[in-house]
Structure 1
Amino acid sequence: MDLFNEINWSAVARQAFDEKINDLEFIKKFKAKSIVTERDTLEWGKKLNKSLAKRRYSV
């Protein structure tokens, strides 16, 4: 950070915080409307990981 004195690091951090808060608010609203359970998402994640691993290691 000392290498780039001209950058307003407070503004950079504030913008990053705002973006993260917006992302979390979106996720919260999305989850409120969703009928998908945590178990469903874990199952999908396992299937996706297996599929990606198969694709990666079959090359």
Structure 2
Amino acid sequence: MPTITVNVDDALKERMEKHPEINWSEVTRQAIRDKIETLEVMDELTSESELTESDVVDIADKINESARERVEKESE
């Protein structure tokens, strides 16, 4: 399996360390998976659309925020 490195600031790392029971690699994998799935859906929906790339980015950002909140709730 390929490896990636994710940089987080010190404050976030400290908060993460307060929850050693959480598999942060899995949280990251799921967030990446969700992002890819969102992008693929957006590609399908917009392949014949008149939306601009900026419109698509705005919509994707809103979806990502919702997904991020869901992952955070699942991690609690």
- Pick the TM interval, shorter chain: 0.5 to 0.7
What residue ranges of structure 1 are gaps of 5+ in the alignment?
Answer: 42-59
Q: 1:33 is matched with which residue?
A: 48
Q: Which runs of 4+ in 1 moved over 2 A?
A: none
| Pair 1:7-2:27 in alignment | no
> What's the TM-score, normalizing by structure 2?
0.45
Q: More relative contact order in 1 or in 2 (CA 8 Å, sep 6+)?
A: 2
Which has more radius of gyration? 1
Q: Which has the larger helix fraction?
A: 1
> What's the TM-score, normalizing by structure 1?
0.57
The Cα RMSD (Å) is: 1.5
Equivalent residues, number: 38
| Pair 1:24-2:39 in alignment | yes
